[in-house]
A and B are shown apart, each in its own frame.
Chain A
Amino acid sequence: MSVMDMAIQAGIWALEILAIAAPVALTVAYITYFERRIIGWIQVRQGCNRVGPAGLLQPLADGLKLLLKETIIPARANKVLFVAAPLLSLVPALVAFAVVPFGETSLFGIWETPHIMAISNLNVGLLYVMAISSLSIYGVLMAGWASNSKYPIIGSIRSTCQMISYEISMGFGLVTVMMLAGSLNLADIVHAQAGGILHWYMIPLFPMLIVFFISGCAETGRTPFDLTETEELVSGYYTEYSGMWFATFSLAEYGAMILISLLTSILFLGGWYAPIPALDIIPGTFWLLGKSAFLIFVFIWFRATFPRYRYDQMMRLGWKIFLPWTLGWIFVVGMFIYTPGLDGIINFWLAWR
């Protein structure tokens, strides 16, 4: 490979990364807007409607405000880690998007075989997402420790316990998906669900869909599980943060929320396939983004509906309910696959047999 080829390849990669990172940042800004409008609508009030038509410029105004605010670093804080912590939580949230397949395209018939629209079509894509999203704990832990203040450290310890607990049930839930798809490649998992809504994994794995989505809620620290940033802790691990560093944390949180929604639609809701095969004339990316948008709406809906969990109740839900449930479902799926007589039922969803 000559230097020229390498430069071109690097340029293409940079463009691919930009093509994902920029829309994610923009989506995050507008999810905050829709969150305020939707919660306003649910609670019979207006939400933000002053800046620009119907308040549409509000996220930009917020961004500008946060950018111009002073970043205060506490005197006794560990400065290096204090500054690094928001980045440590943002980077994993964005890096995980590298393997998410956004659809399949033949570029209007130019390519003979359809290509997967992902930066990297890894064979271990599912494990990669799990590994990378588990890293966001460090940002939270570092923020809590480096602030040198008691509320942040309590918040970050809560957050760590929560993330570790729910990661386990999330991982076991994904094992059932692997068992049916016979692959860790996200594109292969979507291909295994081709052929209409009955082939989607939400039918045989419905309990896992619920477990995965609720665990995703807990992973991102969204409302029923937002003990990490409650009022009693003066907003938890980011008490001491201000200005753009504060915004970086919420960017990471919303980025993780988009990621969980995309993953749920890829793993359980047929990815870029339409519910009825005839509707596949609409490009798959629209289907995938539509499903994810609905799931993001569900996240916001949760926030407007449910009261916060008590800490011990949350731990009980993770360890005593979700974990046995997922283990049991792995056993059930395994039994269906390998018992003669029962395998006829599950063969419908089994891509690798």
Chain B
Amino acid sequence: MLETAFFNLFAGLAILSGMGVVLSRNTMHSVMFLILCFFNAAGLFFLLDAEFLGIILILIYVGAVMVLFMFVIMMLEVNVARLREGITQYLPLGGMIAVILLIEFVAAASSGVFADGAMATAAHLGQEVNNTKQIGMVLYTQYLLGFEIAAIILLVALIGSIVLTLRGRKDAKYQNMSAQVKVRREDRVRKVSM
């Protein structure tokens, strides 16, 4: 009973905050709603005993990705009036996607996948089950190749973004900090006997 209540709370808040992201006029408020949405998704993971995924969702998306989002939005000058400009242009496409999704959801819901018996009624795992360890075991043995490919793709993206944004400006003045730190009094002050 308590679990259902919490599920409804998290799921409902996730949907509401998702709507808030789209509907709010102020982009800053949109970002805050998106953060709330991530929190609720993490809450849903916790209800499924997937505490590692929940925490990682908060750590990576809320703690890092959204900060960068917010950073970019803070720098942008968003004109509220212009937000509504192309609404007639995008409405048909957006509406079509919405209708397709609606049909899919209804079809899925009526297909019996979400019937009472199919819902997660399994007993919860005890505290001795450590799903961080389990994920690690699988990730580093069975799926090692996929994991390493993902790691290499990330590394390439990382280096690529640095290469793309690096402009070796010749006229810029750089400071050699280790030289600055290593400076001793004798290098700068000379005692002169008068």
Contacts and interface: CB of A to CB of B under 8 A. Distances in A.
Interface of A: 1, 6, 78, 80-81, 121-124, 127-128, 130-132, 134-135, 137-138, 141, 145, 153, 157, 160, 164, 167, 183-184, 312-313, 316
Contacts of A127: 52, 55-56, 59, 132
Nearest to B51: A124
Contact of A157 (B52, B71, B127, B130): B71
Contacts of B132: 123-124, 127, 184
Interface on chain B toward A: helix, strand, loop, or mixed SS? helix
Contacts of A157: 71, 74
B35 interface: yes
A330 B62 CA distance: 26
A6 B51 CA distance: 23
20 contacts: A122-B51, A123-B51, A123-B130, A127-B132, A130-B63, A131-B59, A131-B62, A134-B59, A134-B64, A135-B63, A141-B67, A145-B28, A145-B74, A157-B71, A160-B67, A164-B67, A312-B175, A312-B177, A313-B177, A316-B177
Contacts of A80: 29
A128 B67 CA distance: 18
Contacts of B13: none
A316 B175 CA distance: 11
Contacts of B2: 1, 6
B11 interface: no
Given A127-B55, A157-B71, A316-B177, 18 more contacts: A1-B2, A80-B29, A81-B28, A81-B29, A121-B127, A122-B51, A124-B132, A127-B56, A131-B55, A131-B59, A131-B62, A134-B59, A134-B62, A134-B63, A135-B58, A160-B67, A164-B64, A164-B67
Interface on chain A toward B: helix, strand, loop, or mixed SS? helix
Contacts of A130: 59, 63
Contacts of A128: 55
Nearest to A88: B32
Contacts of B67: 137-138, 141, 160, 164
Contacts of B74: 141, 145, 153, 157
Interface in B1-59: 2, 26, 28-29, 32, 35, 51-52, 55-56, 58-59
Contact of A131 (B32, B35, B63): B63
Contacts of A145: 28, 74
